[in-house]
Structure 1
Amino acid sequence: MAEYGYFLAAEEHSPADLIEQARMAEQAGFTSLWISDHYHPWNSAQGQSPFVWSVIGALAQATSLPVQTAVTCPSTRIHPAVVAQAAATSAVLLEGRFRLGVGSGEALNEHVLGDPWPQAPVRLEMLEEAITVMRQLFQGGEVSHHGKHYTVENARLYTVPEQPVPIDVAAFGLAAAELAGRVGDGFTTMVPDKELVARFRRGAGVGGNSKPVRGGLKVCWGIDSHECLRTAHRLWPNMALPGELAQILPTPAHFEQAAELVNPEDLAPLVTCGDNPDDHLRALATYTEAGFDTVYVNQIGPDQRGFFDFYRTHVLPHLPG
């Protein structure tokens, strides 16, 4: 049976608010946490973007739930040897309840040091090498690596968890899903796509069915579904941008310009709005029917307490378990 977690949107909330949401999520009955890892928000209306590793340290003290980044790019803005240290420390603080979610990244966050933004096949190649480096470091021994994209010399993590940190790989396209199956301990994505899950399983080969598949769902709870849709359009119009725009646009201002082409109605199929429990249950069911093991729900907008009360009383008790 599927499990249900809460997705902490660090682009939209301050560090203190994220910690309070984590507490409310645990009290409401969610069983795990996702947290986004961005340098910038998608647009200025969202307005936040704290350093994820600092927030994870606070989460370790505020909640007993497992935590996963969704997702970290370990290949451009931060060297994989540094990401490995951050992930290992997080796993120690969380007493093994940490998974590292990784992906090939977006220019929005990863170009900030002025490096060229590689094409998608190169980014996937970099991601695979970064995973190799991090896995070596998680073993706790000294690592030297001279690869195509990364160099590591005499590096050793002295603070490591009892078991290596699991690495789940994010994908939105078929090639990335196959890579996730081949090199990941699990798979993450934001769309309930059976074909992506099948490609991940195919890439994983023998034993692939034991690797977890996790997905993210955005909702906007409120008593007025039309107002909820307007809130979603104000804060997350980027969800409806087509193609590779999310990967190649470099600044929040560029996303705001592109989002002028997005209407509220374009978001209606993507965001479950309103206070009808059946609508939320149906949206969650699309993920379980596509073969997902865990679904992480994110509430768009400021009414977090109302959302958690709603899910605690009207949604989570009625899910298969």
Structure 2
Amino acid sequence: MTLVGFHASHEQIPPAGLLRAVQRAEQAGFQAAMCSDHLAPWGLRQAESGHAWTWLGAAMQATSLPFGVVTAPGQRYHPVVLAQAFATLESMFPGRFWPAIGSGEAMNEHVTGDPWPPKPERDARMVESIGVMRRLLAGDEVSHDGLVRVHRARVWSLPETPPPFLAAAVSAEKARSAAAWADGLITVKQDPEALRRVIGAYRDAGGRGPITLQVHLSYAPTYDEALAIAHEQWRNGLVGPPDCWDIALPEEFDARVAHAAPEEVAETVLVSADPAEHVDRLADLVSLGFDRVFLHHVGAEQDAFIDVFGERVVPHLTEDT
């Protein structure tokens, strides 16, 4: 049975509206939620970016859903600060919280004024940070001197059981290396063969835990409306790795995709006005080997998507087939 979750996009929706959306998603039948952790939106049209950690406390209190968040230790967040946040959420809401950990994006990290390291160094910094956070969540006092520096840190308010750490990976190489430390994997929709390679690399390397897929989609009463929403709000999706990791400002994303045609955006976003078509396309993706799928309607207005998908999409995807 597949778990179907709602993706809460801080880049597009003000925090109070996003809180109402996730409550509505729970009422509609979505079984979980996850959110982004951005300091800036992907583009000026999106124009939002609430603080994920403040919002998570409110959202988890306002619902009974399990929640995840994709985050990056090492530059904007010191790993000790993140470990304290993990511990507090897991202590208040046992068994309902998971962080997915990646190596970060310049658009969120450049604000520290520190140099943006090359990808191999960012990956190594992430692994060091994970080691620090694991030890802190085990109750240790930690000192560390490497790509991150820690002096006699301790997290005092600890949960009974630390939350699982998921790896955020888009390549088979990253998935393979993450198997050494991760309790699960999350990736984003791409070509089916690429997804098979990611899943296979993680499992073949001994990767444990659930494998999760995030899907960007656009739904509206007509195809033209759904396509217009995707083009207006999510053309940034045309800027793929590694470029998307190294662009620092929303204006730069906008400049890169200023002349993108709507049809190009439909290559990266699932666009349809037919819930049954969404079911079929999502089911094909899930059948590749995913245990959980989180749906992100890329529009700023979420109510119609939540209501229609809660009634006509989520029940089909959660069937025990």
TM-score norm. by structure 2 comes to 0.94
| Distance in 2, Cα, partners of 1:201 & 1:137 | 27
Flag structure 2 segments of 5+ consecutive residues without an equivalent: none
Name the structure 1 match of 2:11.
Answer: 11
TM-score norm. by structure 1 comes to 0.94
Contact 1:73 1:102 in 2 (8 A): yes
Name the structure 1 match of 2:264.
Answer: 266
Name the structure 2 match of 1:195.
Answer: 197
Residue-by-residue CA offset, 1:122-150 (whole Å, 9 max, x unaligned):
1111111110000000012322222x212
Name the structure 1 match of 2:109.
Answer: 110
Contact 1:100 1:168 in 2 (8 A): yes
Name the structure 2 match of 1:139.
Answer: 138
Q: 1:96, CA displacement in angstroms?
A: 2.7
| Distance in 2, Cα, partners of 1:152 & 1:290 | 41
1:175-254 counterparts in 2 under 5 A? 175-191=173-189, 193-203=195-205, 205=206, 208=207, 210-254=208-252
| Distance in 2, Cα, partners of 1:181 & 1:95 | 24
Contact 1:167 1:184 in 2 (8 A): yes
- Matched to 1:7, the amino acid is H
1:96 aligns with 2:95: yes
| Distance in 2, Cα, partners of 1:242 & 1:65 | 31
| Distance in 1, Cα, partners of 2:241 & 2:127 | 23
Residue-by-residue CA offset, 1:199-220 (whole Å, 9 max, x unaligned):
11123x2xx3x41111101121
**Percent identity of the aligned residues?**
37
Flag structure 1 segments of 5+ consecutive residues without an equivalent: none
Q: 1:317, CA displacement in angstroms?
A: 2.1
SS of 2:167's equivalent in the other structure is strand
Contact 2:26 2:65 in 1 (8 A): yes
| Distance in 2, Cα, partners of 1:211 & 1:261 | 41
Residue-by-residue CA offset, 1:33-90 (whole Å, 9 max, x unaligned):
1100001000111111111100001012100000100x10112111111111111111
Q: 1:274, CA displacement in angstroms?
A: 3.1
- Matched to 1:78, the amino acid is Y
The 1:19/1:231 distance shift into structure 2, 3 A limit, reads same
1:281-300 counterparts in 2 under 5 A? 281-300=279-298
Contact 1:241 1:262 in 2 (8 A): no
- Matched to 2:129, the amino acid is A
Residue-by-residue CA offset, 1:132-179 (whole Å, 9 max, x unaligned):
000000012322222x21221221111111101211010112221112
| Distance in 1, Cα, partners of 2:93 & 2:59 | 8
| Distance in 1, Cα, partners of 2:212 & 2:249 | 28
Contact 1:68 1:101 in 2 (8 A): yes
Q: 1:267, CA displacement in angstroms?
A: 1.5
Contact 1:287 1:295 in 2 (8 A): no
Q: 1:306, CA displacement in angstroms?
A: 0.9
Name the structure 2 match of 1:55.
Answer: 55
Name the structure 2 match of 1:304.
Answer: 302
Q: Which consecutive segments of 4 or more residues in structure 1 shift more than 4 A?
A: none
| Distance in 2, Cα, partners of 1:182 & 1:290 | 22
Q: 1:262, CA displacement in angstroms?
A: 2.2
Contact 1:96 1:161 in 2 (8 A): no
| Distance in 1, Cα, partners of 2:300 & 2:168 | 27
59-68 or 186-195: bigger deviation: 186-195
SS of 1:260's equivalent in the other structure is coil
